[in-house]
Chain A
Amino acid sequence: MNNRFDDPPVQDEELHRLVDGRLDPARAATVAEHLTRSPDDAARVEAWRRQKAGLHGLYDGVLAEEIPPRLRRASRPWRAVGVAIGRVAAAFALVMIGGLGGWMLRDTGPLPEARIVVEFAERAAVAHAVYLPEVRHPVEVVASEAQHLSVWTSRRLGLPEPIRIPDLRSGGFELVGGRLLPDAQGPAAQYMYQDTGGRRVTLYVKHNAEAPAVGSEEQERFDYYRRGDTAVLAWRDGNLACAIAGNIEKRELKRLAHLVYGYGGNKPKYR
């Protein structure tokens, strides 16, 4: 049928290019002619055009929606700038004003900058960042002395009984050890874990004596916070305030947080 021998036959790819407006103009006439001779191909092109129009009909409404505040905040650079200020400065800032704030986090969205540094998760993130790259002294007490680590940190945290240091091996992370750190109103314990790939996560625990003795069900949930590459999930477990920090995917961190939370025999739950 093709009477122009120098014209290569029309390819499927060209039909898609036609639909997407990316057909070589030099081929437009040939393709158009082909469609008049091939009702099957014409029907396919028509169907693909309807698919495209249908997709726009389904989802273009999103373009007109108001952008949620949390996305507007996430598109601004202040957190990137915060990282550039440096961990040392941030750590000093924490010591200076850390006493003002509670440890509870709100929702997933970032909080006003002025309040960020007084948050528990921020302190956990900084503590994580400080010891993350440490080669020679990542911990004060190594995992082989786990029992001593448990008794020592629990006593200093003021816990009524020794904490059971969570076992995250089913999540692929092995205990490296732990250390004691100054937190806002007293000491906090940091337990460090590492996987076979050398990635580290830290669990930051503090005795939260101010917490109500019996928390409502709703209070037991994970709150997400992010500082640069470091993701943090924080939660309250009875009289403990806990945060797990790592430079890993939020979902993987959630999985580890579940392991920690479930460790005491509690039923893991989060929103």
Chain B
Amino acid sequence: MIADRTKLIAEQIPRLRRYARALTRDPVAADDLVQDALERAWSRLHLWRSGSNMRAWLFTILHNIHANQVRAASIRPQLTTLADWETTGSLAPTQEDRVMVRSLAQAIDFLPEEQRIVVLLIGLEELTYEEASKVLDVPVGTIMSRLSRGREKLRRLMAGSETPIGVQKS
């Protein structure tokens, strides 16, 4: 039985890593997150009902750890390197005096966290709306509205019709 579960968990590692990478955009932090999730999964395996959705369960654990880390980080000053500033940027005004987002990778950074998470869970990890609802512990309707707002904001950012910081120069 342990062997079965070991296999079920191991099968999910590549996808957990992909999601964590997209979420943190930092390969080391992403693998830290996955490692924490795997370790917690083992310590709580007795809570997993046999035959239930292992993928959704593991994503739930990973999501909760990440949410706690984000909360903890938000009350601490963060150091950032000069390089980070530069990549977040392309903040030079364009001819239209508007801040443009050039790539999807950049644009997704400007989504509010709750929308970004849903866009990634549905769009990248291809979770069903119901699975995402379980993972985030919110109703399916909330998933749909976050997905809708997230995708629309991304579309406008990519089209240049919305500025990432919501300010236009006069």
A260: min CB distance to chain B, Å: 17
Nearest-neighbour CB distance to chain B for A10, whole angstroms, equals: 14
- Across the interface, A67 reaches (CB within 8 A) one of B14, B39, B43, B122, namely B14
Task: Give Cα A48 to B73, complex, Å.
Answer: 31
The answer to whether A71 and B34 have CB atoms under 8 Å apart is yes
Stretch in contact with the other chain, from A73-81, A145-153, A211-219: A73-81
Residues of A within 8 A of B82 (CB): none
A52 touches B123 (CB 8 A): yes
Asked if residues B17 and A75 are in contact (CB atoms below 8 Å), the reply is: no
* Residues of the B chain whose Cβ atoms lie less than 8 Å from the Cβ of A60: 18
A78 and chain B: residue at smallest CB distance:
B42
CB atoms of B21 and A59 under 8 A apart: yes
**Quick one: closest A residue to B17, CB to CB?**
A62
User: A249-267: which have CB < 8 Å to B?
Assistant: 249-252, 255
| With known contacts A58-B22, A75-B6, A252-B72, A229–B43 Cβ distance under 8 A | yes
Cβ of B113 under 8 Å from chain A: no
- Residues in B15-35 with C-beta less than 8 Å from chain A: 15, 17-18, 21-22, 31-32, 34-35
B31 touches A51 (CB 8 A): no
Chain A residue nearest to B130 in the complex (CB): A22
Decide if A48 touches B31 in the complex (CB within 8 Å): no
Interface string of B96-138 (1 = CB under 8 A from A): 0000000011001000000000011011101011000000000
Count: A-B pairs, CB below 8 Å: 110
Q: Which stretch (A12-20, A113-121, A166-174, A187-195) binds chain B?
A: A12-20
From 57 to 87 in chain B, residues with beta carbon under 8 angstroms from any chain A beta carbon are 65, 68-69, 72-73
With both beta carbons as reference points, the residue of chain A lying nearest to B76 in the complex is identified as A255
Interface residues on B, range: 35 or more
> Which residues 41-73 of A sit at the B interface, judged by CB distance below 8 A?
44, 47-48, 51-52, 54-56, 58-60, 62-63, 65, 67-68, 70-72
Residues of chain A within 8 A (CB-CB) of B158 are 47, 51
Assess whether B38 is in contact with A58, with CB atoms less than 8 Å apart: no
Complex formed: what's the CA distance from A56 to B122 in Å? 12
A226: chain B residues within 8 A (beta carbon): 39
B13, B42, B144: the one within 8 Å of A79 (CB): B42
Known: A47-B155, A55-B123. A251 touches B13 (CB 8 A): no
Bound Cα distance from A135 to B17, whole angstroms? 41
Q: A68-B31, A74-B39 are in contact. Are A48 and B151 (CB under 8 A)?
A: yes
| Neighbouring A residues of B35 by C-beta, 8 Å | 70-71, 74, 108
Contacts of A79 in B (CB 8 A): 39, 42
- A250 smallest CB distance to B (angstroms): 7
Contacts from B to A (Cβ < 8 Å):
2, 5-6, 9-10, 13-15, 17-18, 21-22, 31-32, 34-36, 38-39, 42-43, 45, 65, 68-69, 72-73, 104-105, 108, 119-120, 122-124, 126, 128-129, 144, 147-148, 151-152, 154-155, 158-159
Which chain A residues have a beta carbon within 8 Å of chain B's beta carbons? Answer: 12-13, 16, 20, 22, 44, 47-48, 51-52, 54-56, 58-60, 62-63, 65, 67-68, 70-72, 74-77, 79-81, 83, 108, 226, 228-229, 249-252, 255
Q: Would you list 26 pairs from A and B whose C-beta atoms are within 8 A, ordered by A residue?
A: A16-B144, A20-B122, A20-B123, A22-B128, A22-B129, A47-B158, A51-B119, A55-B104, A58-B104, A62-B17, A62-B21, A63-B15, A65-B17, A67-B13, A67-B14, A71-B35, A71-B38, A74-B38, A75-B6, A76-B6, A77-B2, A79-B39, A80-B45, A83-B43, A226-B39, A255-B72
- Top 7 nearest A-B pairs (CB, nearest first) are A74-B38, A54-B104, A62-B18, A55-B124, A47-B155, A80-B42, A63-B14
